[in-house]
Amino acid sequence: MEYADFHSKSSTPVFKNGSKLPVLHSYEPAEYSPIAGEGLPRRRIGWDSVPAECKMGAEYSNVWSLFEYAAKRYPEHDCMGKRVPLGKGPFQWINYTEAYERAKAAGAGLRALGLKPGDCIGVYAPNSEEWALSGLGAYSQSMTVVPLYDTLGDDAVRYEIEHAELKLVICAEKNLHALAAVKDKVPTLKTIVQVEPLGESDPYADELKAAGITFFDYDSMIAKGKAEPVAPTVPEPDSIAVIMYTSGTTGDPKGVCLSHRGITIGASYGGGIDLQQETYLSYLPLAHIFETMLEQGILCRGGRIGYFSGNLKLLLEDVAALKPTIFVGVPRVFQRVYDRVMSTIESKPAPIQALFRFAMSQEFNARKNGRSGSCLGFLFKKVRKALGGNVRIIVSGAAPLPAYVHEFLVSTMGAEMYEGYGMTENCAQATLPLMYEYRSGRVGPPMPTQDVKLVDVPEMNYTSASYPPCGEILTRGAVNFVRYHKNPEATAETLREDGWLHTGDIGRWNPDGTLSIIDRKKNIFKLAQGEYVAAEKIENFLTKSAYIAQLFVYGNSYTTKLVAVCTPDVEKMMAHAVHSGWAAAGAAAADVFTKPEVAAFILGEIKACGKAAKLHGFEIPQAVHIEGDINDLGQGFTIENDCLTPTFKLKRPQLLARYREKIHAMYAELGESPESV
């Protein structure tokens, strides 16, 4: 396949075979000159430059002014809603005018509690209307918001409060125990504001007050703000809006400092998606940049955000009550939708299964040829109700979406499907497909807000001169982060003086100018025989097995073979075990997964997937340990046991520490020295 002319920047791309999918998605801007060891930067087709200001105007290049713009433009539109009573009733809404006034009161309340412009406040709670209004209130007074993941352990909570020097934390009642546990180790913390109303007696109130910490509730803070109003202190565009701590797969998390300018540019341009006045369900953690940017993008266009009930087990009930028009998730969420639907279909008679699969193929082919759907789309009416029935846009992010799940969503949901790429350090702004994209494995051309280039990684055989060009992905634009908080060394390593952000991810430019993510630079090590191994790439290939939910691949420079730890897919594995006679119906998975037959079967799946992916022999694990202690989410590697980050990335040092004895045993069985582990 020949390369398209990437120097062309026509805003009217050629269409192929009547499809609405352009042949060319990006071009090489003329202002860049070649540099040895690097590919030329690329920009989204039709864009002459990357923006330096908010799309609505330079005066709105701070989060508070951008929300004020929306409040004045859409005063009577529904803005934020929650189910009343929580988790049971219908959504009840406040409009933009009401939200604006409450946010101002929240800002004044923070000032009344002793905070001043430039101070940092923490928010340690599930997504809620109170979370969002507190954040906007902080922005109204030029304060910096530090979101804390709702699932953090005590050590991470202590580290982030101490590192960011938080004076005040807005906290959900269920998380008070974590603050109480570290109260004597965080001298800067002086005030806690509980999201829920205070009761007559609170088990932690006396304990916190004894430590010199003032204890309020959210309603009291709002009341103080109304009683002692303070005019907004509008932030400067280049001041820090958010310090967002990354998940920390190794060592302590890094505090990513994001500017008001970067957030408002990213939110106002929306990644190139035609966002309108959408209805959106907020349930992904606001401590994740993906969710933060989406909410700001919805709000600046007058859309409405309904907040989930706080319990992921009730998520589908929240979806049914809200009927969102845009649904955003991580691959695990969409995998569960796929599994539920396909499990139901597989229980039906063979003719119905055949009809369903035929209809899926017809719908997919229709989208492939640029049509909005086929005449069989009505067969998916019940499937679409899984996401409320009104979804027109689906966005997946944070990790690669399996190809079969991508094709399932494209075929059955009747919505535009976007799988993008970004990271905290660039406000989740890197690449995103154009509308009508149907192919999996591609994350689109650069967003309008970024230039993107690839730099050679010769030790991994990825070069910009290869065909197709490959290398480490770099991005440049005003949406890139300012610095890592109190960490100039890490800042200099990641964000160079020329403005290019080194992502650590390996990408490939496809002939049409779209990008594919193919590897990770940091998760590479050398085996004893001198062969380089990219563990994450191998894990991505091997977890294509329907029987493997999670996989940790391990090796080092003193061993010649790889080994693995696997969390099986409980539903699939148990069904196979019963069918094969290894287990009785109704047996406990934890007991069944200790059987040698399960390990042998999973190892067979690993080898089959490795062969199908054309991995080298040294890239295929030769032994596997089965993790049988699995939570309700189907995870053996969890946030709670410190093996998984809140964004579901593997924490490799912690996994090694947890499974060191099992890894020792596997290497001993393979005839290699376990002492090197």
Q: Is the dihedral of CA 284, 288, 293, 295 positive or negative?
A: positive
- Look at residues 419, 416, 434 and name the one whose alpha carbon lies nearest to residue 512: 434
Q: For residue 101, what are the contacts with CB-CB under 8 A and spacing of at least 6? A: none
pLDDT digits 0-9 by tens, 564-602: 999 999 999 999 999 999 999 889 999 999 999 999 999
Q: What pLDDT does residue 7 have?
A: 42
Confidence of residue 251 (pLDDT cuts 50, 70, 90): low
Question: Could you tell me which residues are beta bridge partners of residue 27?
Answer: 43
SS3 66: helix
Q: Distance between CA atoms of 332 and 86, rounded to whole angstroms?
A: 25
Q: What letter would DSSP give residue 293? A: H
Q: Please count the other Cβ atoms lying within 10 Å of the Cβ belonging to residue 277.
A: 13
Residues of the chain with CATH 3.30.300.30: 524-676
pLDDT of residue 227 exceeding 80: yes
pLDDT value at position 372? 64
Contact 61, 234 (CB under 8 A): no
pLDDT 10s digits, 78-113: 999 999 988 789 999 999 999 999 999 999 999 999
C-alpha of 576 from chain center: 32
Classify the phi-psi angles of 427: left when phi > 0, otherwise alpha if psi is within -120 to 50, otherwise beta: left
The single-letter code of the amino acid at 433 is P
> Using the 8-state DSSP alphabet, how is residue 253 labeled?
P
Among 92-96, 399-403, 406-410, 552-556, whose mean pLDDT is lowest? Answer: 399-403
Question: What is the rounded CA–CA span in Å between residue 581 and residue 587?
Answer: 12
| Alpha carbons 518 and 520: distance in angstroms, whole number | 7
Confidence label for 373 from pLDDT (cuts 50, 70 and 90): low
Q: Dmax over Cα atoms in the chain, in whole Å? A: 74
CATH class in words for 325-520: alpha beta
Mean pLDDT of 672-677: 67
* Residue located via tokens 């998730």: 329
Write phi, then psi, for 462 (nearest 5 degrees): -110, 115
pLDDT at residue 219 tops 80: yes
Which residues, listed in sequence order, are joined to residue 376 by a DSSP beta bridge? none
Q: d(Cα 668, Cα 265) in Å, to the nearest integer?
A: 55
CATH of segment(s) 524-676: 3.30.300.30
For the chain, give the mean pLDDT. 88
pLDDT surpassing 60 at residue 250: no
Residues spanned by CATH 3.40.50.12780 within the chain?
A: 58-270, 325-520
Query: Quick one: fold of 58-270?
Result: Rossmann fold (3.40.50)
By DSSP bridging, strand 393-396 and strand 451-455 are unpaired
Query: CA–CA separation, 106 vs 103, rounded Å?
Result: 5
Give, in order, the Cα–Cα distances in Å from 565 to each of 576, 584, 653, 670: 20, 25, 14, 15
pTM of the predicted structure, to 2 decimals: 0.82
